[in-house]
Amino acid sequence: MMKKLLIFAFLLWGVALSAQNVTINAVGKNIGGKHIRLFLADDYISGLEVQKADVKLGENDSTFSFGLVTDGVSILTLKIDAFEYSFISQPGKIYELQIDSIDYAIADSVNVLLYKYILPIKITNLDSDDLNIKINKFDVAIENFITRYDRELLVTKDKTIIDSLYQLAESFLQTEKDGSYFHTYVKYELGKMNHVLRLKSRKQQRVELFKDKPIQYYNIGYTDCFNHIFGHYFAQGNKYVSQDELEFWLNTTNYDDLMDALGKDDVLRNEVFRELVLIKGMKDAFSDGIYERQDIIRMLEKIASRTKFEQHKKTALQTIDYLNGISHKGLSIKDFEIKNVMGETQNLQQFIQKPLVLNFVKLNDKDSKRELEVVNYMYENIKDNCEILTVCCDRSLDAMYNFLKNTKIGNRYKWNFAFFDSDYDLLEYFQVKAFPLFILISPDGKVEENPMRNPSEGSLSKFLNKENK
């Protein structure tokens, strides 16, 4: 009998008396030797996913289990290589997962990781009242209706069709208790639809759904609607906060005046909700690129230190983590271990005595091959001024070894190569979305450029010896 691995990852959200066990048991057809990773969507405003468990299965293993402690309804995501599956967990439940055979070659055949492949998973023990079942039925029904009547909803605004859409949504609530998780989910998903289809104005939706209403931090319907309707609050242009005022308050980290100005918006009179909009606004302003990003980070730090609400402190800090994770510029990167062509373990510190050009490639990708040829062409004239570390993201260490040792092209490459060994945590940490990706790291271990321009675009010229410039 194949051994079963039991991994208990405790979700420490404080010592909560309400915490209950959630158990995940899984069986899969071709998961032996794989890293199994479990993530929790710990906060739906920040967008941060927190890794809670990681285990590498033995080559012959086909089962695994995770035991978690949660204090409410949570979104869990199971990841294997570039494949993932998300579902809703409820405290006190056991989830039996069946993983069908995974075609790993699908992910190997493309040079992008932006698209996440869906793990072929079935939860075999769900009852008809499970949130996963109810939400999926609702989402599918609404999506099919909108697809069928898209012109009537988007162009002609046919009242009969709009009323039918509302009736369809309401039909899912006939036996549902007012205020239940699913009831709230449907209410706010309908609000999001009204916003997206422009069936009601943004102002009307703000008042109807959010003014003086309780905040549902952990309901994905509520937060999805909130993120849509209050998205890019400071970029929309409003009469309460001008861009010049916001820029000044961010530069001076003036939390109080900014909060006072936002309070002039009638929908934001409530201090708790106003601060939540501010946190969301900071996250979106960072992405918009209108304001100094470090000023935004400092304002989020100020919110975390000043807020009266523990949930907002958590959200602000996790928003900082999320924003730092998608930018990296100026950040000290974490050390990591990686295998060289001989299978020996190395760490990052070995390579950052000089500026490090860290790059992620696939050896079967023509764009990666082109850039490696440019590196090779320049290497002798830049090697005194920088280090080069190429991380090969093919599935096989043998493929990298054979390329470097047994091909005329690979034999010419004299810089450092390493194998990622299915370390998708590493790829996600450096935000590797497509191959090739080049990143410049300073000798003090901070990210200078992510991404940097490709070598074919002249990015390595700065490292040329003087006589070759």
pLDDT number for residue 13: 34
pTM (2 decimals)? 0.77
Structure tokens at 203: 């102002």
CA angle, 40 then 42 then 48, to 5°: 90
Using the predicted structure, report yes or no on whether residue 431 has a pLDDT greater than 50.
Answer: yes
pLDDT number for residue 332: 75
pLDDT number for residue 43: 84
Mean pLDDT for the chain? 87
330-337: average pLDDT: 77
33-53: average pLDDT: 88
Q: Which of 330, 347, 350 is nearest to 339 (CA)?
A: 347
Structure tokens at 412: 């010419």
* C-alpha–C-alpha distance, residues 140 and 146, integer Å: 10
Using the predicted structure, report yes or no on whether residue 239 has a pLDDT greater than 90.
Answer: no
Q: Strand order in 35-41's β-sheet?
A: 49-56, 35-41, 74-80, 83-89, 117-118
> CATH assignment of 5-126?
2.60.40
* C-alpha–C-alpha distance, residues 209 and 207, integer Å: 6
Q: At what angle do helices 202-210 and 220-229 cross, to 10 degrees?
A: 150
Looking at the domain covering 337-468, what would its CATH class be? Answer: alpha beta
- Using 50, 70 and 90 to split pLDDT, how confident is the model at 50? confident
Using the predicted structure, report yes or no on whether residue 2 has a pLDDT greater than 70.
Answer: no
CA angle, 51 then 54 then 57, to 5°: 155
Structure tokens at 162: 């709009």
194-221: average pLDDT: 92
Which one is predicted more confidently, 397 or 142? 142
* N- to C-terminal Cα separation, the chain: 65
pLDDT number for residue 113: 59
How much of the chain, in percent, has pLDDT values that exceed 90?
57
Report the range of poorest mean pLDDT among 182-196, 238-252, 298-312. 238-252
Structure tokens at 136: 């999926």
**Is-contact 200 167, C-beta < 8 A?**
no
33-42: pLDDT as tens digits: 998 999 998 7
Structure tokens at 380: 């002798």
418-423: average pLDDT: 87
Structure tokens at 78: 């199971």
Residue 244: Cβ within 10 Å count: 8
Q: Three-class SS string for the chain?
A: CCCCEEEEEECCCCCCCCCEEEEEEEEECCCCCCEEEEEEECCCCCCCEEEEEEEECCCCCCEEEEEEEECCCEEEEEEECCEEEEEEECCCCEEEEEECCCCCHHHHCCCECCCCEECCEEECCCCCCCHHHHHHHHHHHHHHHHHHCHHHHHHHCCHHHHHHHHHHHHHCCCCCCCCCHHHHHHHHHHHHHHHHCCCCCHHHHHHHHHCCCCCCCCCHHHHHHHHHHCCCCCCCCCCCCCHHHHHHHHHCCCHHHHHHHHCCCHHHCCHHHHHHHHHHHHHHHHHHCCCCHHHHHHHHHHHHHHCCCHHHHHHHHHHHHHHHHHHCECCECCCCEEEECCCCEEEHHHCCCCCEEEEEECCCCHHHHHHHHHHHHHHHHHCCCCEEEEEECCCCHHHHHHHHHHCCCHHHCCCEEEECCCCHHHHHHCCCCECCEEEEECCCCEEEECCCCCHHHCCCHHHCCHHHC
Chain-centre distance of CA 118, in angstroms? 15
**Residue 157 carries which side chain, given as an amino acid letter?**
K
Chain-centre distance of CA 122, in angstroms? 23
Instruction: Tell the burial category of 348 from Cβ atoms under 10 Å away from its Cβ (0-12, 13-18, 19+).
Output: middle
- Residues whose CB is less than 8 angstroms from the CB of residue 111 and which lie 6 or more positions away in sequence, other chains included: 362, 365, 367, 368, 434, 435
pLDDT number for residue 105: 78
Structure tokens at 138: 């609702």
pLDDT number for residue 219: 94
Give the residue extent of every domain in the chain: 5-126, 128-229, 235-326, 337-468
